[in-house]
Structure 1
Amino acid sequence: MMHNFSWWRLGWTLLAYGLVLGGVGLLLGAPLLVLLLGALGLVLWHYWQLHLLSRWLWDGRQFTPPRGSGAWQHAFDGIYFLQRKNLKRRKELGRLLKRFREGTEALPDAVVVMNEEREIVWCNKLATNILGIRWPEDNGQRVDNLLRRPEFISYIKREQYQEPLIIPSPVQSMASIELRVIPYTANETLLVARDVTRLQQLEQMRRDFVANVSHELRTPLTVLRGYLEMIGEDPRLEQGPWGKPHKMMTDQVSRMYSLVEQLLALSRLEAKSEVDNLKVVPVPALMTKLEADSQALNSHKQHQIRFHVDELSMRGDGEQMMSAFSNLVANAIHYTPAGGQIDVRWQALPDGRARFSVTDTGDGIAPEHVLRITERFYRVDKARSRNTGGSGLGLSIVKHVLSRHRSRLDIESTLGKGSTFSFVIPKDLVVRNKSVINE
């Protein structure tokens, strides 16, 4: 039976024990000897209780402790209470671990738990079907020793897990898997893998369809465009009833031709997964050409366009970067009311990176549209985009170009005040123009 420990009870017990020994010693005429023998007996009794406790802790097979005496019974009861408490906690942890494992087994994804050394701590059954990892045979094995793909090893070493990695399946030759690494605890991470073969096939079918249709449309549109231009050279056209229909047909064919060209450009970007970052792109020279093109495009709007260009170049694909630059500037010109102000900046940042930005004084973009504005064919105002010749593909092209150059498009916009479209080029892709001369 458990009871609270009392120093008063222990003190009175020792006092009573001493008085009894003192009384017996006085009766026998040897009080010191009796007290000495009593103290020795008390020490032996304590050692006996300690022996019972040690034997129970190390060799005992019973859960309940041996029956102690005096203050030792309180110690035995306390240890028994802690054992029951720890047993309850272990059962709760066991149930929690069981629920965790049952939950991960029910997931449609393969889950692998790794420690800080990238060694496998646990995995579910789907890891065998998707990744070829066997449990418990591969327990303690390094995951990069089992998935020996160069891109996966590089992905793990970089420890930049914002984006997933898609690699060929190590189990099925024609399948593709998407890998995500998620921090789990301070020393463990989760490797989550799913089969994306079907999604990859559908995406490839979509890209092939868009590319083929765009290519097939390009030839008839070119023929129509050529004949319309040839007819437009006839001075009698303006005098007859076909002047206005001819202009409308020319505008619509030009719009369709521009849309096809953008679709083909987007298809080429999607098909080309890597960019040669060894080529130097002379950005100041591109800015000079872009300034001349923007002034020609600005002939009707009469905006005040100002360019601020630092002497910086970068490494990458010059054609793709020019496409990104021109799309952002063209959007600012098209969607800013006449007589507005547009500032184009290519500037060096203090940390060695470079930033390109286009700031306009247009109508701005509502917050609910900002997150979707880079989706293909997405337009904030469809009627207005149709009037300005917008296709909803320009920012999609910019997004793909920037992803190839390890950057992303940032959009800051306030309704009624204007917008700023910008992106930052990583430091290792920025080239000082003195370096260009040396090369």
Structure 2
Amino acid sequence: MKKNWQRYIQRIIVSLIGLTAIGLLVGSLSWTLVIGLAAYLTWTLTQAIKLHQWLYSPNTKSTPPESHGLWGDLFDGIHTLQKDHNNVQDRLRTMINRVQESANALNDAVIMTDARGAMEWWNKSATTYLGFMPRSDHGQPIYNLIRTPAFKSYFEQKNYDDPIELSSPAKPHIMLRFRITLFGEDDRLIIAQDITRVHNLEQMRKDFVSNVSHELRTPLTVISGYLETLSGNADTLPPIWSRALNTMSQQAGRMELLISDLLLLAKFETIDQSQARQAVNINRLLKSIKSDALVLSGNQAHNIHLTTNTDSLLMGDENQLRSAFSNIIFNAVKYTPAEGNIDIHWWSDDKGVHLSVKDTGVGFDPIHIPRLTERFYRADPSRHKDTGGSGLGLAIVKHVLRNHDGELEVKSSLGLGSEFICHFPSRSH
């Protein structure tokens, strides 16, 4: 390239020297230089017009104009850049088409929007599941097409750790799970997965548990009634029958507790979170639960301490909160040896309000913590017979906290006691 420029400069210098020599020979140096420069300017303008016509012609891939020297190299260089640019465009177009084809082959709906929610692109499954129209819906805000306040709130919050499940606006019988990922300048990639089958199976499970629990309650009530009648006449029965009646009465009581917890859990799973929201006086609620815990402790004489150092009002369902808090506190009583300490602490900070229940009980291996809120899961199955619980208490706690946008944190070590902490966001109080 440097050699080319040197050659062009040499040609200009040689031309000027030639024009000067001719001008001296003919005796008119000025006019000779003017005529030479005018000829060069005319040739240059002609080449510029050729360049303009070529660049703005309908077919920019046409052969470049014929020329030589500086303009010839310029035409060839621009033509080379055009070919490289077109090749890159072809590769990018092929890649985009391939990505779109692969996205269209997905069974999940895929939607791309800008930061304001304007729809830029979606695949065929989005048209099927959500009813988007390829022509009229392009550029429309997505929350104008998915007209659910929960979706708009989820879209705008920018916290997409957990998905949201909603019915399809085009086909209400289809249940979709939405996940959103941020990319670029707050643009969104939305993926909607059809979970109708899983949702229906979960609903069948809930209905089955609820129906079976209801159906078992009546015969169990009858059995318990007859057992109570027989136990009243245990003095007239042989000792072996008395022991059998006591055992059956205990097991019937445990079954009644299990059925009650199953019905309560089914209720909390299906309850509308927006219902029964009111200001709950947590201070008064905890004092009431503490009194019940002291009764449960009985002769074991546990030292139960309650401290509250914040506003005791919490927006929620008092019955649900009572069930969750009492489950945690009563568990502390059950698993703490006699005369042990149980500390109940209610406080607030910049993250929200919190309830801590800490005991000096037997504790358990932290390996069990991820599964503690599963139905019927027990960190120590051998304690089942001693405590007589249903195994559903922490599952109930989990659903109550979920209904109040809260989280459960558990800390424990073998022989060093346990601590259960309920975290509620700032907007809850």
Return closer, same or farther for 1:254/1:57 CA change in 2, 3 Å cut-off: same
Given that residues 127 and 134 in structure 1 are in contact (C-alpha distance below 8 angstroms), is that contact kept between their aligned partners in structure 2?
A: no
Kindly provide the amino acid, as one letter, of the partner of residue 269 in structure 1.
F
Do residues 274 (structure 1) and 240 (structure 2) align?
A: no
What does residue 287 of structure 2 align with? 288
State the match for 1:211 in structure 2: 210
C-alpha distance 422-10 of structure 1, shift in aligned 2 (>3 A): farther
Residue aligning to 1:57:
55
Q: Answer yes or no: is 1:104 the counterpart of 2:131.
A: no
- Please tell me whether the aligned partners of residues 5 and 74 of structure 1 are also in contact (alpha carbons under 8 angstroms): no
1:260 corresponds to 2:289: no
Could you tell me how far apart the structure 1 residues matched to 2:8 and 2:363 are? 82
2:380 matched to 1:381? yes
The match for 1:437 is none
Deviations 1:364-386 (A, max 9, x none): 55555333322222333333345
> What TM-score comes out, normalization by structure 2 length?
0.86
Q: Quote how far apart the aligned CAs of 1:160 are.
A: 5.1
CA distance in structure 2 between the partners assigned to 1:415 and 1:37 by the alignment: 105
Paired residues, what number? 427
Task: State the SS of the aligned residue for 2:89.
Answer: helix
Maintained 8 Å contact 1:342/1:359: yes
Which residue pairs with 1:133 in the alignment? 132
Q: Give CA deviations for 1:118-175 in whole Å, capped at 9, x if unaligned.
A: 3332222222322121223432333333333454455545555444444443333544
Q: Match of 2:407, SS?
A: coil
SS in 2 for 1:298: helix
1:107 Cα shift? Answer: 1.2
Contact in 2 for aligned 1:277/1:429 (Cα 8 Å): no
2:397 match: secondary structure: helix
Partner of 2:395: 396
| Structure 1 residues 245 and 66, CA gap change in structure 2 (3 angstroms) | same
Partner Cα distance (1:42, 1:364) in 2? 97
Partner of 2:315: 315
Contact conserved, 1:361 with 1:417, CA < 8 A, in 2? yes
Does the aligned pair in 1 maintain the 2:119–2:139 contact within 8 Å?
yes
Counterpart of 2:354 in structure 1 is: 355
Q: CA deviation at 1:337?
A: 5.5
Residue 142 of structure 2: aligned partner: 143
Secondary structure of 2:323's counterpart equals helix
Contact 2:113 2:189 in 1 (8 A): yes
Q: Quote the residue 1:13 is aligned against.
A: 11
Check the 8 A contact 2:277/2:317 in 1, yes or no.
no
Identical amino acids, percent of aligned pairs:
37
Output the amino acid matched with 1:56: W
Paired amino acid for 1:280? A
Alpha-carbon distance between aligned partners in 1 of 2:333 and 2:22, rounded to the nearest angstrom: 113
In the other structure, the counterpart of 1:116 is 115
For residues 253 and 76 of structure 1, do their structure 2 counterparts lie closer, same or farther at Cα, with a shift above 3 Å needed? same
Contact kept, 8 Å, 2:340 with 2:360, in 1: the verdict is yes
* Contact 1:237 1:243 (C-alpha < 8 Å) held by counterparts: no
- CA drift at 1:180: 3.6
Residues 4, 334 of structure 1: CA spacing in aligned structure 2 closer, same or farther, 3 A cutoff?
farther
**TM-score where L is the length of structure 1:** 0.84
After superposition, the C-alpha distances for 1:6-60 in whole angstroms (9 at most, x for unaligned) are: 4433433333333333333333334444334333333333322222221111126
> 2 CA distance for matches of 1:384 and 1:335?
9
- Secondary structure of residue in 1 paired with 2:120: strand
Stretches of structure 2 that go unaligned for 5 or more consecutive residues are none
SS at match of 1:291: helix
How far residue 281 of structure 1 moved from its aligned partner, in angstroms, is 1.3
Counterpart amino acid of 1:308? T
Structure 1 equivalent of residue 42 of structure 2 = 44
Distance 2:172 2:275 in 1: 28
Contact 1:369 1:380 in 2 (8 A): yes
Kindly indicate whether the alpha-carbon contact (under 8 Å) linking 1:287 and 1:309 is maintained by their aligned counterparts in 2. Answer: no
1:276-321 Cα offsets, whole Å, 9 max, x none, are 3542211111111221222233346655432222341212111100
Shift in alpha-carbon separation, 1:368–1:4, aligned structure 2, 3 A? farther
Query: Which amino acid counterpart does residue 53 of structure 1 have in structure 2?
Result: L
Aligned residue number for residue 24 of structure 2: 26
Pairwise CA distance, 1:324: 0.8
Please tell me whether the aligned partners of residues 234 and 242 of structure 2 are also in contact (alpha carbons under 8 angstroms). Answer: no
User: How many Å separate the matches in 2 of 1:54 and 1:338?
Assistant: 97
- Could you tell me whether the CA contact under 8 Å between 1:180 and 1:193 is conserved in 2? yes
In structure 1, C-alpha distance between the alignment counterparts of 2:236 and 2:80, rounded to whole Å:
104
Q: Equivalents in 1 of 2:415, 2:91: separation in Å?
A: 58
Instruction: Indicate if the aligned counterparts of 2:167 and 2:173 stay in contact, CA closer than 8 A.
Output: yes
SS class of match (2:390): coil
Unpaired runs of at least 5, structure 1: 431-439
The answer for the alignment partner of 1:342 in structure 2 is 342
1: CA distance between counterparts of 2:364 and 2:259?
26
Summarize the Cα distance change of 1:387–1:34 in structure 2 as closer, same or farther, 3 Å threshold: farther
Q: Distance in 1 between matches of 2:220 and 2:26?
A: 130
**How much has 1:86 moved relative to structure 2?**
2.0
For residues 72 and 417 of structure 2, the distance between their equivalents in structure 1, rounded to whole angstroms, comes to 81
Distance between the aligned counterparts of 2:276 and 2:13, measured in 1? 90
Distance 1:111 1:218, change over 3 A: same
Instruction: Give how far 1:249 is off.
Output: 3.1
Q: What is the identity, as a one-letter code, of the residue corresponding to 1:40?
A: A
| Residues 130 and 171, structure 2, Cα contact 8 Å, conserved in 1 | no
Where do 1:171-210 residues align within 5 Å? 171-210=170-209
Question: In terms of mean alpha carbon deviation, does 281-290 or 379-388 score higher?
Answer: 379-388
Secondary structure at the aligned position of 2:135 is classed as coil
Residue number in structure 2 paired with 1:433? none
Q: CA deviation at 1:415?
A: 5.7
SS in 1 for 2:239: coil
CA distance in 2, matches of 1:334, 1:216: 30
Taking the aligned partners of 2:41 and 2:338, their CA distance within structure 1 comes to: 103
Paired AA for residue 401 in structure 1: V
